[in-house]
Amino acid sequence: MTDIFQAKEKYLKIYNDNIEILNSLDNELINNSRIKALEDFNTTGLPDKKNEDYKYTDLTYLLSNDYEFLQRNGKKILFQQLW
C-alpha cells in the first residue's frame, strides 16, 4: 500500500467515525455539500506525482501529520465545549 492510499483510507475512516457529530453540527445544505465532497475525494483520492497539476507538490508534510477530529486527551469534544 502506498502512503497516499493509506492516507486516503485514514481520512475516510476519521470522517466515517465522526459522521454523526458532523451532521449534528451543521444544516442540510452544508451536510449535502460535505457528502458531495466526500464522494469526490473517494473517487479521486489524494493527488500523486502522476497528476500533472500536482507533479511538483510535496505531500510529505500533509501525510506525515496525525490528524484527529475534535479530540482532546483521547475523548471527543462536544460542539458546545468549543466555545
pTM above 0.75, yes or no: no
Question: Within a 13 Å sphere around the CA of 7, how many CA atoms are in the beta-carbon half?
Answer: 18
Distances (CA, A) of 27 to 6, 23, 31, 60, 61: 31, 8, 6, 34, 32
Q: How far apart are CA 16 and CA 51, in angstroms?
A: 27
Which amino acid is residue 39, in one-letter code?
A: E
Domain residue spans of the chain: 3-82
Q: 33-63 pLDDT, tens per residue?
A: 988 999 998 888 888 778 888 888 887 777 7
Check residue 59 and report its DSSP letter.
Answer: -
Which amino acid is residue 35, in one-letter code?
A: I
